[in-house]
Amino acid sequence: DHLGAADSVVAWHRHEGVVRLTVNRPKALNALNEEVIEALETALDALERDAELRGVLISGAGDKAFVAGADITRMRELTAPEARAFAGRAQTVLKRLERLPVPVVALVNGFCLGGGCELALACDWAVAGDNAVFGQPEVQLGIIPGFGGTQRLPRRVGPAMALELVTTGRKIDAAEALRIGLVNQVMPQAELDTYAETLGDELRASAPGAVGTAKRALYDGMEQPLDSALALETGLFALCFAGDEQAEGMAAFVEKRPARF
Ligand code: CO8
């Protein structure tokens, strides 16, 4: 366990395999600029190599914002080719985050707008503090979401709701985000840390190989027609029986003891 780069624009703290990443530019409501994207790339380089990793929890520094979007002062200066490069780089980072073989969860502690909402959408699920505000306000700035929002938002909340949010740019509160399925749970903001600890314990108790295989089955399968997706599941299900975790998990059940993964 170690504390890494606590003063970086992406601070991170690892405790028994569960890493908490904190986007740390509170004066700009944690807006994403190239420096943050680069810090996320560095974090991902380490996370992808971390064989003991069990989960990643992401939040924003301070009590006001998760991430209030891409940095508008920076975007203001971009030419079209630069905008393409910035968005492409950020999309690659978010895809890597999504494909980590462990649960990646957004703990949304305030404003979650634009690129911030897209960061939350790249997480496997999100939980929100009751003060959270969500939205894709890009059309109010004369642009569209560029970090995956036009694609992941409809996959999460359905096309009609996504179209409404993306074309009006309207902001919604945590209760509404819960109702439409953008977040899984809402709690008092002060309870997000307790949730993180409880979730961390749950993640450490699950068989890590099975968790990674389950994520693969879901993400790969969702992109396929049902028949090939079901075939994918069958193959991955069988693969579980070729490893040690299935033997240990089932032996532990029969012997009435906790499993040791
Ligand atoms: N970028 C840069 N600075 C920001 C951002 C941002 N997205 N959001 C807030 N800040 C800064 C403010 O400018 C302010 O700075 P300063 O103190 O120096 O004036 C500081 O954070 C605090 O913000 P406010 O004073 O505005 O705080 P309020 O409580 O009054 O308002 C809001 C909070 C409602 C969140 C407001 O700050 C706001 O509307 N922010 C912008 C939200 C937004 O539009 N986000 C979407 C941006 S577009 C986007 O994310 C596109 C993603 C794809 C990009 C593709 C790249 C090419």
ipTM surpassing 0.90, yes or no? yes
**pLDDT digit string, tens, across residues 118-140:** 999 999 999 999 999 999 999 99
Residue with CA closest to ligand 1 atom 30: 29
Is 127 exposed, middle or buried, given 0-12, 13-18 or 19+ CB atoms closer than 10 A?
buried
Decide: 32 in ligand 1 pocket, CB within 6 A.
Answer: no
Assign 4 a pLDDT band (cuts: 50, 70, 90).
low
The pLDDT of residue 33: 96
Compute the average pLDDT of residues 78-84.
97
Assign 5 a pLDDT band (cuts: 50, 70, 90).
low
Q: Can you tell me the distance from the alpha carbon of 243 to that of 245, in angstroms, rounded to the nearest whole number?
A: 6
Decide: 111 in ligand 1 pocket, CB within 6 A.
Answer: yes
The pLDDT of residue 21: 97
Q: Is 49 in contact with 12 (CB distance < 8 Å)?
A: no
Residue with CA closest to ligand 1 atom 16: 28
CA 127 to ligand 1 centroid distance, Å: 22
- Per-residue burial over 57-90, b if 16 or more Cβ lie within 10 Å, else e, is bbbbbbeebbbbbbbeebbeeeeeeeeeebbebb
Decide: 138 in ligand 1 pocket, CB within 6 A.
Answer: yes
The pLDDT of residue 2: 45
Catalytic residue list contains 191: no
Decide: 86 in ligand 1 pocket, CB within 6 A.
Answer: yes
Please identify which of the residues 35, 138, 176, 233 carries the catalytic annotation.
138
Decide: 60 in ligand 1 pocket, CB within 6 A.
Answer: no
Of 1-10, 180-189, 194-203, 230-239, minimum mean pLDDT range = 1-10
CA 147 to ligand 1 centroid distance, Å: 16
**pLDDT digit string, tens, across residues 95-109:** 999 999 999 999 999
Closest ligand 1 atom to Cα of 118: 52
Q: CB-based contacts of 134: which residues, under 8 Å, 6+ apart?
A: 108, 112, 113, 117, 120, 128, 171, 172, 173, 174, 176, 177, 182, 183
The pLDDT of residue 32: 97
Cα 9 to Cα 27, 144, 182, 190, distances in angstroms: 11, 25, 26, 23
Please identify which of the residues 118, 197, 248, 255 carries the catalytic annotation.
118
Decide: 137 in ligand 1 pocket, CB within 6 A.
Answer: yes
Catalytic residue list contains 118: yes
Q: Is 132 in contact with 108 (CB distance < 8 Å)?
A: yes
Q: What is the CA 225 to chain-centroid distance, rounded? A: 25
**pLDDT over 90 percentage in the chain:** 97
**pLDDT digit string, tens, across residues 85-97:** 999 999 999 999 9
Beta pairing partners, 112: 67, 134
- Whether residue 174 has pLDDT greater than 80: yes
Decide: 114 in ligand 1 pocket, CB within 6 A.
Answer: yes
Assign 172 a pLDDT band (cuts: 50, 70, 90).
very high
Average pLDDT of the chain to the nearest whole number: 96
Tracing tokens 């190989």 back to the chain, one arrives at 209
Taking the CA atoms of residue 40, residue 16, residue 183 and residue 134 in that order, the dihedral angle to the nearest 10 degrees is -40
Compute the average pLDDT of residues 195-215.
97
The pLDDT of residue 3: 45
Mutation test residue for ligand 1: of 9, 63, 64, 72, the one with most atoms within 8 Å of CB: 72
User: Does the reported pTM lie above 0.95?
Assistant: yes
Assign 6 a pLDDT band (cuts: 50, 70, 90).
low
Assign 1 a pLDDT band (cuts: 50, 70, 90).
very low
